[in-house]
């Protein structure tokens, strides 16, 4: 356990945003299991000691959330919308501090952290507006004396489990629609990055969110919390973002209670560059898509397919662009690539690169642990990558751009679809007919055409196949927190 400490409070305009206690029923509470340390991945320093809740405390929080839900669901959509708007404003006013906390616990550079805070806030804003638009239906009766009304009602207590790669936005993407629709939430943030979550709760409290409506349950024991969420009969919905492996486990645990689940799971995104593409635009798109958050997003390009006629040119341009990236502590100026989250992440990158090199791939640039040591890794481009390599089948979740060569459109589509995952895919092309053909043929929940960035609160984010269940963002994101009730009236 590192013994060095970072004085993060001194970097904040409002140091009360740095909160190490959990938030249950409107109270800031200590953990019955003591505390766990949050470590800055850039420096290995401890940033804070955070309340380690016991399973019993998690169960209590669920009870409180249930009590609060009855009252919260009685509020009008407009009343809920007003509080969510205030919360959005608090987040915007404190965006700089929230970004500092985020970088300190997660590692991404300040510019990206600030981008995430704005992205995260957009879900509170968007769903706050949607709270007023939970429309039902009137269906013409099936008999002369019958009237059919369809209501949409909040599901009840929602449990969320969120990852460390987007410690702010993955939480607001779930909490926004849950609260807007009249559900209450018990949220377990990742143990690596709980401080962004508790800071959000500080601001929610200031905005006047009633007690019990949002509960932030910090814990080092993900398995205990997951079991409580899946087996406590009061929990009516689980929304999880994380790996497919953990998602499968949660789905199994949730099956006894027939718990409604949303799952945003792993990806293995193909990024295809056709020979008619605007090459510079494709390089720019690949850079952002691959190296955003140091390659640690579920929608990062994991397999870059380039047409054989432009392969060498593309590889050279990628190499030049990658060599311009600046690696370092995300809290320092002008840094574009931070550290990876921990040593295991570095090991995974090394494992994939070792496999690439053994099987005949070529490292064009990078390929090593960075000279700064710790969790830093050199941004890397590898060529001559083939389908027998591990990197073709598993998410690297790190700064490695593997370039595969292809000849024919149908062949690259088949290869792109040859995976159990189906979250995001991207391609660059100019030909109009090809754009339609390929968009329709790719078996993915999200397709980026001539763009490397697809995330926005106004669109439905989510995957097919083993990449997940349900959608987040847009009005579809509200539906995941609502139940339909059909009322058959005999008059």
Catalytic residues, by residue number, are 264, 298
Q: Please report, for the chain, how many H helices and E strands are present, in that order.
A: 14, 22
| Contacting residue, 65, 91, 289, 298, with ligand SIN by CB under 6 A | 298
- Min separation Cβ 267 and ligand SIN, Å: 8
Which C-beta is closer to ligand SIN: that of 22 or that of 250? 250
Contact flag: residue 197 with ligand SIN (CB under 6 A): no
Contact flag: residue 446 with ligand SIN (CB under 6 A): no
Contact flag: residue 198 with ligand SIN (CB under 6 A): no
Contact flag: residue 122 with ligand SIN (CB under 6 A): no
Q: Are 231 and 257 in contact (CB under 8 A)?
A: yes
Size of residue set near ligand SIN by CB under 6 A: 8
Which C-beta is closer to ligand SIN: that of 267 or that of 366? 267
Residues 6+ apart with CB under 8 A from 456: 122, 473
| β-pair partners for 188 | 161
- Min separation Cβ 169 and ligand SIN, Å: 6
Which C-beta is closer to ligand SIN: that of 109 or that of 367? 109
Contact flag: residue 455 with ligand SIN (CB under 6 A): yes
48: left (phi > 0), else alpha (psi -120 to 50), else beta? beta
* C-alpha closest to that of 398 among 265, 244, 290: 290
Which C-beta is closer to ligand SIN: that of 64 or that of 455? 455
Contact flag: residue 102 with ligand SIN (CB under 6 A): no
* C-alpha closest to that of 464 among 155, 170, 239, 244: 244
| Contacting residue, 17, 299, 322, 341, with ligand SIN by CB under 6 A | 299
Contact flag: residue 113 with ligand SIN (CB under 6 A): no
Q: Report phi then psi at 168, rounded to 5.
A: -100, -60
- Min separation Cβ 121 and ligand SIN, Å: 14
Long-range contacts of 143-147 (CB under 8 A, 24+ apart): 145/490, 145/491, 146/488, 146/489, 146/490, 146/491, 147/488, 147/489, 147/491
Contact flag: residue 397 with ligand SIN (CB under 6 A): no
Local structure of residue 318 (DSSP, 8 states): H
Give dist(CA 49, CA 285) in Å, integer.
39
Stretch of 101-109, 230-238, 291-299, 310-318 lying at the interface with ligand SIN (CB under 6 A): 291-299
Contact flag: residue 68 with ligand SIN (CB under 6 A): no
Q: Report phi then psi at 487, rounded to 5.
A: -110, 120
* Helix, strand or coil, per DSSP, at residue 137: strand
Tokens linked to 368: 């090593």
Give dist(CA 238, CA 55) in Å, integer.
17
Going by DSSP bridges, is the β-strand pair 482-490/146-154 parallel, antiparallel, or unpaired? antiparallel
Which C-beta is closer to ligand SIN: that of 112 or that of 205? 112
Going by DSSP bridges, is the β-strand pair 464-465/421-422 parallel, antiparallel, or unpaired? antiparallel
* Helix, strand or coil, per DSSP, at residue 361: coil
Give dist(CA 170, CA 358) in Å, integer.
37
- Min separation Cβ 115 and ligand SIN, Å: 10
Q: How many CA atoms lie within 13 A of 371 on its CB side?
A: 1
Which C-beta is closer to ligand SIN: that of 166 or that of 421? 166
| Contacting residue, 123, 166, 305, 421, with ligand SIN by CB under 6 A | 166
Stretch of 136-144, 181-189, 297-305, 324-332 lying at the interface with ligand SIN (CB under 6 A): 297-305
- Min separation Cβ 289 and ligand SIN, Å: 10
Stretch of 295-303, 317-325, 400-408, 476-484 lying at the interface with ligand SIN (CB under 6 A): 295-303
Which C-beta is closer to ligand SIN: that of 218 or that of 293? 293
Contact flag: residue 165 with ligand SIN (CB under 6 A): yes
Contact flag: residue 241 with ligand SIN (CB under 6 A): yes
Tokens linked to 205: 């409290």
Segment 259-278, which members bind ligand SIN (CB under 6 A)? 264
* Helix, strand or coil, per DSSP, at residue 380: strand
| β-pair partners for 38 | 48
Stretch of 64-72, 98-106, 296-304, 365-373 lying at the interface with ligand SIN (CB under 6 A): 296-304
- Min separation Cβ 473 and ligand SIN, Å: 8
Which C-beta is closer to ligand SIN: that of 166 or that of 444? 166
Tokens linked to 267: 């990806």
User: Which residues in this chain contact ligand SIN in the complex, by CB under 6 A?
Assistant: 165-166, 241, 264, 297-299, 455
């Amino acid at each position: 356990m590192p013994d060095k400490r970072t004085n993060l409070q001194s970097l904040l305009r409002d140091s009360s945003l740095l909160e190490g206690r959990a938030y249950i029923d409107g109270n800031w509470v200590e953990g019955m299991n003591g505390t766990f340390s949050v470590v800055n991945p850039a420096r290995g320093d401890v940033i804070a000691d955070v309340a380690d809740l016991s399973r019993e405390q998690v169960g209590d929080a669920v009870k409180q959330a249930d009590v609060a839900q009855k009252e919260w669901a009685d509020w009008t959509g407009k009343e809920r919308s007003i509080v969510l708007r205030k919360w959005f404003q608090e987040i915007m006013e404190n965006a700089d501090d929230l970004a500092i906390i985020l970088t300190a616990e997660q590692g991404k550079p300040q510019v990206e952290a600030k981008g995430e805070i704005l992205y995260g806030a957009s879900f509170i804003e968007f769903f706050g507006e949607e709270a007023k638009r939970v429309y039902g239906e009137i269906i013409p009766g099936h008999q002369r004396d019958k009237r059919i009304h369809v209501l949409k009602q909040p599901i009840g207590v929602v449990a969320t489990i969120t990852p460390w790669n987007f410690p702010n936005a993955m939480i607001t993407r779930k909490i926004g629609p849950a609260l807007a629709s009249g559900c209450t939430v018990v949220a377990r943030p990742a143990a690596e990055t709980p401080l962004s979550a508790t800071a959000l709760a500080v601001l929610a409290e200031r905005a006047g969110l009633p007690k019990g409506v949002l509960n932030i349950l910090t814990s080092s024991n993900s398995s205990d919390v997951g079991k409580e969420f899946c087996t406590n009969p009061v929990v009516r919905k689980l929304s999880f973002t994380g790996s497919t492996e953990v998602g499968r486990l949660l789905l199994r645990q949730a099956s006894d209670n027939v718990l409604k689940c949303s799952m945003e799971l792993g990806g293995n995104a193909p990024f295809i560059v056709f020979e008619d593409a605007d090459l510079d635009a494709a390089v720019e798109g690949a850079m952002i898509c691959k190296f955003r958050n140091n390659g640690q997003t579920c929608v990062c390009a994991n397999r870059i397919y380039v047409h054989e006629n432009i392969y060498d040119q593309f590889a050279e341009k990628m190499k030049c662009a990658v060599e311009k990236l600046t690696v370092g502590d995300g809290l320092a100026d002008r840094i574009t690539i931070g550290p990876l989250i921990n040593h295991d992440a570095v090991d995974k990158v090394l494992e994939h690169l070792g496999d690439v090199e053994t099987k005949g791939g070529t490292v064009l640039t990078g390929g090593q642990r960075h000279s700064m040591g710790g969790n830093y890794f050199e941004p890397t481009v590898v060529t001559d990558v083939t389908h027998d390599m591990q990197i073709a089948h598993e998410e690297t979740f790190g700064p490695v751009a593997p370039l595969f060569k292809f000849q024919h459109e149908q062949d690259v589509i088949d290869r792109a679809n040859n995976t159990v995952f189906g979250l995001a895919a991207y391609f660059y092309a100019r030909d109009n007919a090809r754009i339609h053909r390929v968009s329709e043929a790719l078996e993915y929940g999200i397709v980026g055409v001539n763009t490397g960035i697809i995330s926005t609160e106004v669109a439905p984010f989510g995957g097919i196949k083993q990449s997940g269940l349900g959608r987040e963002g847009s009005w579809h994101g509200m539906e995941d927190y609502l139940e339909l009730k059909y009322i058959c009236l005999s008059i």
